[in-house]
Structure 1
């Protein structure tokens, strides 16, 4: 499996100027390639490279950066096409889809640029890197990272690294290729119900409350609205400083929750069963006050964190159909809307079984996880 390790660069003034010029030129070139791709309807990596390579070289890019620019553009169009197929950009004729299909993909001046080992070399023992720039080799640029990240880079770094400038700070996102861990045969599944009131609930009864996260989001939402109304330079400066604070807080919360879930599954020899929530934002209909909460809810991120941590630990992961998990009784299987008199209560109208609604849903998810795993593994066993 592949893991991305982020390290921070500390270039001097001349190195920073060279890096900035390089990013600007690469993304200017990417916009040129994107226009050509859109004009001639050429989106394949090799075909786009053949179409634009000479022009990219004429703009001042050397061979490998020119190739990576063409590949970056091709990858962006592949992402747009995949989103259209998945329905993420709306139905044919919708305004959002028309915008996506009606113009070339654009690249910001400081958008990330990939480099391979031919134009970026790591001196890991010295904690420095050397990068190709439009002004020649940058010389050794110091980088810093945690001890765990350093160990990961030393043992597993492979392939490309992305150069990123974010809020005036420079980073490299290095790809580390870790050998696959054999998935252990699970003795049952730990069902995980993802929600808003409770971010995650397991069928063991553990509930990770979303109250604190939602409180932070609502406070940030009110503060953003207030600063936007004020509109002064200092207010805009404060908005810029705070813009990623909530995302970092949510990611840290999701990391901690995912770690606890995977540790518990590994300790008990179980797999993890998650709901397949693809397209939930398009399916769910909510009142206006609830929409902000749903659309800022990082359930996909939490699910991704659980999946990759489980993969690294050899814990099996299955995705189950979430239909009626919140309305079905985990004791007798009876399905009815009336089983959920309110958000937190489940009371079966058939057998009178009562439980916290999220715990009951997690039990249903765990049961479906066992069934889905059996359906996949038994044919292989035969």
Structure 2
């Protein structure tokens, strides 16, 4: 399992200037490589090297830095084509897709740049790094990290680290290759219903309300609107300073919810069943006032947080089809739109069972998780049984052949 550790660099003024000049230089080079890739239609990394490597070296980039720039551009075009292929940029002929494909990919002046172990050396005990820049090797750049981060860096750091400048602060994002923890066979599943009014509701009846997060987002939108209308220099400075505040608040909320869900599942020896909500924004049609809430709904982030925290804890996670989970009675299984008269209420018109609508949906998700796990692992068990049977049969054949050989030996 791959995780990332973000540490903050504490460079001196001279070191910060060298890092800033280097980041600008490599991103200008990346924009040049992107233009070459767009004009020539060359998108593969090794083909781009033939077109641009010598020129990047002439610009003052080192060999490793030049190769990382080319790879960064090739990866960006690979991602673009994957998004087009998956329909994430709209259908053929849509304005969004046309904008994305009509010009070269561009990189910000402070876009992240990867460094490998030839360009970046860590001294974790001294909390310093040595990093390549266009002005030469910059040594003893201090960084700060928690004890847990230092332990993970020392034990599992492997591969590239990204240099990032964000709001005047410098960060290194290091990749750590953590050994996979064996997934425990679950006794049952905790169903998790994701929503906007309630961010997450579990089949145990625990509801994580979205009231605070929605109020925070509403306040941020209102404040952004006022500052954008004012359009003064001080208003623009404030907008720039606050631009990530909402995202940080939402991410912190999702982290806390994911931790609670995974901890409870681990404590009780259960797995976690999540809804597969991929493509919901394209499927759902809403009135204009409701679209803001839908498109700011960070269900994917919460699901990814639960998945990686569960993997670290050895908790099984399965994704199920969410269709009709809100209209199905978790007691008798009867499906009817009238079972859910409003957002909060579920009342079965067949058996009379009543429950909070999100809790009822979470119980249906938990039941589908049990069924899905049984189906997916029945095939694995059958394959292991066949493999074991084949192994025993092969061993028996080998033993019989050995006996025949012994019997037919002329020395006997």
- CA offsets, 1:108-133, max 9 Å, x none? 01000000000000010000001100
Quick check: 1:130 aligned with 2:141?
A: no
Deviation at residue 298 of structure 1 after TM alignment: 1.0
Cα separation, 2, equivalents of 1:227 and 1:74 = 38
Q: Give the superposed CA RMSD.
A: 0.9
Cα separation, 1, equivalents of 2:189 and 2:146 = 34
Larger radius of gyration: 2
Q: Which residue of 1 aligns with 2:56?
A: 56
Q: Which residue of 1 aligns with 2:18?
A: 18
Structure 2: gaps of 5 or more residues = 383-412
Cα separation, 2, equivalents of 1:101 and 1:368 = 41
- CA offsets, 1:175-231, max 9 Å, x none? 011001111111111110000000000001000000000011111111111111111
Quick check: 1:238 aligned with 2:238?
A: yes
Segment drifting more, 62-71 vs 48-57? 48-57
The 3-state SS of whatever aligns with 1:126 is coil
Deviation at residue 45 of structure 1 after TM alignment: 2.1
The 3-state SS of whatever aligns with 1:162 is strand
Cα separation, 1, equivalents of 2:336 and 2:230 = 49
TM-score (norm 2): 0.91
Deviation at residue 28 of structure 1 after TM alignment: 0.6
Quick check: 1:358 aligned with 2:355?
A: no
The 4+ residue runs of structure 1 with deviation greater than 4 A are none
Q: Which residue of 1 aligns with 2:41?
A: 41
- Report how many residues are paired: 382
The 3-state SS of whatever aligns with 1:139 is strand
The 3-state SS of whatever aligns with 1:74 is helix
Quick check: 1:97 aligned with 2:97?
A: yes
Structure 1: gaps of 5 or more residues = none
1:144-183 alignment runs, 5 A limit: 144-183=144-183
TM-score (norm 1): 0.98
Q: Which residue of 2 aligns with 1:378?
A: 378
Q: Which residue of 2 aligns with 1:308?
A: 308
Deviation at residue 94 of structure 1 after TM alignment: 0.4
Quick check: 1:121 aligned with 2:121?
A: yes
Q: Which residue of 2 aligns with 1:228?
A: 228
Segment drifting more, 281-290 vs 339-348? 281-290
